[in-house]
Amino acid sequence: MKITHVIQHLGLGGAESFVIELANQQQRNGHDVDVLIVGKEQHVRDGLHVRSTSISRKDGPDVGAIRAVGRHLRENRTDVLHAHTAPGLVYGGLGAVLARTPVKVFTEHSSSSPSDQYGRKTQLLELIAARYDAIVTFDDDLQQQLATKRTLRSARVVVIPNGVSIDDDSVWDRATSRKELGVTDDVVVVLAVGALRPQKNYELLIDVAQRLTTIERDRVTHPVQFVIVGEGTERSKLETKIAELHVDNVRLHGAFANARRLFRGADVLLNTSTWEGMPISMLEAMAEKLPIVATRTGSVETLLGPDGSFLGTSASSMTAELSRLLSNPSDLREIAGRGFNRVTQYFSIPYISQSYEDLYTSLLDKVPPSANPTA
């Protein structure tokens, strides 16, 4: 099977990480896989082991880029076009129509409603999405929301969760990770990973850090350091709050190409988001046996399961529960063990890749030979 993934870039981001993992696994499964990057950012992050091709596009609608995508799909004799993110949806979908690609699949990686994301462009995107054979989301609620759209009734809306590799040879050991994080052995590290955006609610994390500067373990006092890995529009606002409150145990690390490398240097991954999708960083943390504590939001409950460790949304309640957990390593090990078992059983990339490949096959089987130029 020839599979072409289309996305706007392969830089930092959860969707981008997932595409790399999925494409690599599908190639290991014996398929002919390539990634088509349609955008202004042409950089390809380390870790992609399949062919990649870049098509530059202009600001605004770019008919030339659509034609270039169609030409690539036609010359490649692609069986399945798999698009990711809104630019992938548009340029991949329209290019596939030109190339008469047999099967078109789009994965919606966001948990917010299309109107919240795209405003006036929503209806146009839904019209294009209706040309796809299947739309995939990771969330049952979002599946129901998309399935009720009048323009999407002709498309199959299915649920396939995100996935990650369980074993990652690129992950650093604890000492190397702690050196990058800038902490010594006695420090307890609370790690947060994600872009500096309002929905991540890092202001709450700062309030918790102000209250939680040390913890006791076996009658020994340990300093607590909070490290936020990510970059974004909220940086100056967060820096101002840190300075005004005189919080000296929060570090804005900035963007990092492979945040998974830092997980073994941390003691816990904290998620304070007001809304979330199904974060790749949390799946990676589970695979690295890093305990996760989080607010109940979006698909995080689905990800962590009924035995997940969830926190209240006030600074006081979050501080109290986090302090209790950090003071009890045995509790953290139990959380980490449950997370590892869950990601291995439900979210491993071989399992998720097979789910996608089964979907591709079922859709290809419905294509009549006369409508399949690759047959």
pLDDT 10s digits, 330-366: 999 999 999 999 999 999 999 999 999 999 999 999 9
The domain segmentation of the chain, as residue ranges, is 2-163+349-371, 174-346
Distance in angstroms (rounded) separating the CA atoms of residues 124 and 162: 26
Residues 163-186, mean pLDDT to the nearest whole number:
88
Who wins on pLDDT, 167 or 226?
226
**H-helix or E-strand containing 282?**
helix 280-287
**C-alpha torsion 209→320→331→161, nearest 10:** -70
Residues in the chain: 375
Output the pLDDT for position 299: 76
Output the pLDDT for position 113: 45
Domain 2-163+349-371 is classified in which CATH homologous superfamily? Glycogen Phosphorylase B; (3.40.50.2000)
Output the pLDDT for position 11: 77
Q: Mean pLDDT lowest for which of 53-62, 207-216, 336-345? A: 53-62
Distance in angstroms (rounded) separating the CA atoms of residues 223 and 57: 49
User: 174-346, which class in CATH?
Assistant: alpha beta
Answer whether 2-163+349-371 and 174-346 agree in fold: yes
Residues 136-142, mean pLDDT to the nearest whole number:
79
Counting Cα atoms < 13 Å in the Cβ hemisphere of 77 gives: 5
State the DSSP string of 300-335: HHHHH-TT-EEE-SSHHHHHHHHHHHHT-HHHHHHH
Output the pLDDT for position 121: 62
Whether residue 59 contacts residue 41, with contact meaning beta carbons closer than 8 Å, is answered with: no
Q: What is the pTM of this model?
A: 0.85
- pLDDT tens by residue, 104-123: 999 988 765 444 444 456 67
